[in-house]
Amino acid sequence: MGSDQSRLGFYLLLAPILLWLIVLIILPHVGLFLVSISEKIGPREYETGFDNYAAFFSEPLYWRTFARTAIMSIMATALTLILGFPIAYYIAKLTRGRTKTTLFLMCMIPFWVSELVRTFGWMILLRETGVISNILQYLGLVNGPIELLYNDAAIMVGLVYTSILFMVVPLVTTLDSLDDSLIEAGYDLGGTSTSIMREIVIPHAMPGIVSGCIVVFMLSLGNYLTPILLGGKDSLWFTGMIYTQFITRFNWELGSAFGFLLLGLSSLVVFLGLKFSGQSLSETMGRS
Partner 1 sequence: MIPTVPQPVFAKWCYRAYVTVFFVYLALPLTVVCVFAFNNSVFPSLPWEGFTVAWFFGTEAPFIGVFNERSIMRSIGTSAFVAFWVSALAVAVGTCNAFLFVRHEFRGKALLYMLMLLPLIIPGVILGISILVFSSSVANTLEDATGLWFDGLRPGLILVILGQFSFITTFATLVISARLQKFDPSLEEAALNLGASKIGAVRQITLPFLLPAIVASAVVSVLMSFENFNTTLMLVGSDSPLTITMFDKLKQGSTPVLNAVSLLLIIVSAALGLLSLLFQNAKR
Query: At closest approach, how far in Å is the CB of 32 from partner 1?
Result: 4
Please name every residue paired with 46 in a beta bridge, in sequence order, or none if there are none: 40
- Of all helices (H) and strands (E), which one includes residue 271? helix 252-277
> Is 183 near partner 1 (CB under 8 A)?
yes
Range 90-129, binding partner 1 (CB under 8 A): 90, 93-94, 103, 105-110, 112-118, 120-125, 127, 129
**CB-based contacts of 174, cutoff 8 Å, min separation 6:** 204, 205, 206, 207, 208, 209
> Is 35 near partner 1 (CB under 8 A)?
yes
Half-sphere exposure (CA, 13 Å, Cβ side) for 231? 20
Of residues 178, 183, 227, the one with CA closest to residue 206: 178
Stretch that binds partner 1, among 48-56, 74-82, 203-211, 253-261 (CB under 8 A): 253-261
Distance of CA 91 to the CA centre of its chain: 22
> Is 161 near partner 1 (CB under 8 A)?
yes
Give the one residue of 69, 80, 174, 256 binding partner 1; rule: CB under 8 A.
256
Backbone angles phi, psi at 236, to 5 degrees: -80, 155
Query: Rounded distance, CA 180 to CA 194, Å?
Result: 16
Give the one residue of 78, 224, 232, 244 binding partner 1; rule: CB under 8 A.
224
One character per residue 40-79, x = contact with partner 1 (rule: CB under 8 A)? ----------------------------------------
**Cβ distance 86 to 94 under 8 Å?**
no
Stretch that binds partner 1, among 48-56, 62-70, 147-155, 252-260 (CB under 8 A): 252-260
Stretch that binds partner 1, among 55-63, 148-156, 179-187, 203-211 (CB under 8 A): 179-187
Give the one residue of 70, 229, 236, 254 binding partner 1; rule: CB under 8 A.
229
Give the one residue of 41, 47, 71, 187 binding partner 1; rule: CB under 8 A.
187
Stretch that binds partner 1, among 47-55, 57-65, 204-212, 216-224 (CB under 8 A): 216-224
Range 189-208, binding partner 1 (CB under 8 A): 193
Backbone angles phi, psi at 38, to 5 degrees: -110, 140
Nearer to partner 1, 209 or 238 (CB): 238
Query: Rounded distance, CA 14 to CA 21, Å?
Result: 11
Of residues 111, 84, 241, the one with CA closest to residue 174: 84
